[in-house]
Structure 1
Amino acid sequence: MQEIPDTVRPYQKTQVYTDKTTPGMMKNDHRVRSGVWAKIVVQKGEVVYEIPERNEQVTVTAEAPAVIEPVVMHRILPQAGSRFYLEYYR
């Protein structure tokens, strides 16, 4: 799993989502823009982070956040009872 480079800084944070409130576009294949990194921060439960083109699937927890690389196609699948948000960096 990648780490966020030291050369970027946080600039935005989403609201807290649950398995019921996560926007549909996050659950489908999408990507962040070039030069933008994101971190999935789980407050409760688990979120599955998938990178289809690499055939990767990571279970994200409060103890183990995940980093989303720029322009990498991915999807975020919150599990029942989960709470999470995204932090964006550039």
Structure 2
Amino acid sequence: MPSSVAFYKSTPVFSETSVPAALQRDHTTAAGVWAKIMVLEGSLEYHITEPAPEQRLLSAGDEGIIAPQMHTLLRYPAR
């Protein structure tokens, strides 16, 4: 994330049962807005769907960075 990025807001902590459905579907951040996913426990699949498809498995302590207008979605790994 660029050093010029300033904190804007944070969301509540989500669990496997409380992550909003909108984050589990393809979505984007607004122009100029960066996002950081912080995994506190367990694991989370972080999917970049555009511009270049990519999938990452984030585990406790990992972070995922989302650039402005990047298409992403979140999934919990199958158990």
**Shared fold by TM > 0.5?**
yes
Indicate the larger mover: 51-60 or 36-45.
51-60
Distance 1:78 1:13 in 2: 20
> Which one-letter code corresponds to 2:34 in the other structure?
W
* Number of equivalenced pairs: 77
Residue equivalent to 2:71: 73
What is the RMSD of the two structures over their aligned residues, measured on CA atoms? 1.3
Are the equivalent residues in 2 in contact too, given 1:51–1:74 (CA < 8 A)? yes
Which stretches of structure 1, 4 residues or longer, exceed 3 Å deviation after superposition?
A: none
Residue equivalent to 2:37: 40
Are the equivalent residues in 2 in contact too, given 1:27–1:76 (CA < 8 A)? yes
Are the equivalent residues in 2 in contact too, given 1:38–1:68 (CA < 8 A)? yes
Q: 1:19 aligns with which of 16, 19, 26?
A: 16
> Which one-letter code corresponds to 1:39 in the other structure?
K
Unaligned runs of 5+ in 1: 81-90
Question: What's the TM-score, normalizing by structure 1?
Answer: 0.79
Are the equivalent residues in 2 in contact too, given 1:19–1:79 (CA < 8 A)? no
Residue equivalent to 1:58: 56
Unaligned runs of 5+ in 2: none
Deviations 1:63-89 (A, max 9, x none): 321101100111011347xxxxxxxxx
Are the equivalent residues in 1 in contact too, given 2:44–2:76 (CA < 8 A)? yes
Question: What's the TM-score, normalizing by structure 2?
Answer: 0.89
